[in-house]
Structure 1
């Protein structure tokens, strides 16, 4: 009888870096919004529109990520691990994230309509800072719990072929690759990036310089600097 190859820690690098990118972005945006409230950051119409677009893309990425977990990963875990895994709290977090993402996007759209000189202390700016802070806190707590509770279950009970099938199914669901790829790469250290290049194949990695260049321009407009 052939024993299935277990999922290895390196197999989880993609999801781990995706988590890191989402958390880093939410924290960075929350800090930016707090500075907008105090007037430390000036946001004219062009920057406000770019900020709203960036937040919209991040919100879509977070929703896509947890929806894929609900629909694709959770059934695999329940089939393979049975009562060894309890996903109720994580699923509840997903349900709590969706209305918060709606509020974040709405507040960002409102900020984009406020003249720059009126933004410091404006209710729209305060709402954006409040919702982004709540999002950053909830996302960090949720991801820490997920990696603490779910990753060991995957490593212990999900065969590598099943995990690769999960990743393929998630990719097939689409997503904003020009937004995700450069940020995931930026979250990797050199060794991790080298592993990603080997695992992702040449086509995806050829896209990285192009998507990074395009997103860096948007990043500089939103945050005032380019780090990607």
Structure 2
């Protein structure tokens, strides 16, 4: 018989790092968008491309949870069904502002009109509030359930789903940098230590420089 002490426990620590990216970017983007002068399509394109990537990343993040996490928890943690359904409802509520962002973005990137800019900034801010509530609930109440009820292999499948849609090439370094930006030194060492050696070498050679250039291009007013 396998003793409890030898059973590998699911560890969700890396999810918190990913959540920080979504929180940070949705928090700072409304002011960045509002600062774009009417008609400045070059600046609208820079911010629009960044916002599109962040919104798409959040969509894939939620889709993985919808497909791979909630069904397992509903079967194995039935006494918490109300909580899990609340998470599903929060995803549904976030879909509306995210869909509106997707509708507004092409028009604003193309013409940079003030009305589109202002509505877009308002919708991003609306999404940021809902996202903060959802991620706080998830970290406080759902991650402990995942650690108790999902196996490491099942949790790895969630991460693998995310890796399937990660950007490639230069944008992969930008994504990695966005995760490491607010990581503690211990978190940074652990996260990099779990990456393949070629990725770690690429990050060491060009990653931080690539990320800083991309970050500063987005955040300049």
TM-score interval w.r.t. the shorter chain?
0.7 to 0.9
* Structure 1, 176-185 or 77-86: larger mean CA deviation: 77-86
TM-score, normalised via structure 2 length: 0.83
Structure 2 SS opposite 1:5: coil
TM-score, normalised via structure 1 length: 0.81
Q: 1:102 to 1:206 in 2, by over 3 A?
A: farther
* Structure 1, 13-22 or 95-104: larger mean CA deviation: 95-104
Equivalent residue, structure 1, for 2:45:
49
Equivalent residue, structure 2, for 1:5:
8
Match of 1:200 among 185, 195, 198: 195
Task: Report 1:139-154 matches (<5 A).
Answer: 139-154=131-146
- For structure 2, the residue ranges without an aligned partner over 5 or more in a row are none
CA contact (8 A) 1:57 1:176 kept: no
**Matches of 2:129 and 2:160, distance apart in 1:** 30
Match of 1:66 among 51, 62, 77: 62
CA contact (8 A) 2:9 2:152 kept: yes
- What's the CA shift for 1:111? 2.7
- What's the CA shift for 1:105? 3.1
Structure 1 consecutive aligned stretches of length 4 or more whose deviation exceeds 6 Å = none
* Structure 1, 14-23 or 206-215: larger mean CA deviation: 206-215
Equivalent residue, structure 1, for 2:118:
126
* Structure 1, 76-85 or 177-186: larger mean CA deviation: 76-85
- What's the CA shift for 1:35? 3.5
Q: 1:174 to 1:114 in 2, by over 3 A?
A: closer
- For structure 1, the residue ranges without an aligned partner over 5 or more in a row are none
**Matches of 1:30 and 1:17, distance apart in 2:** 22
Count of matched residue pairs? 212
Pairwise CA RMSD = 2.5
Equivalent residue, structure 1, for 2:18:
18
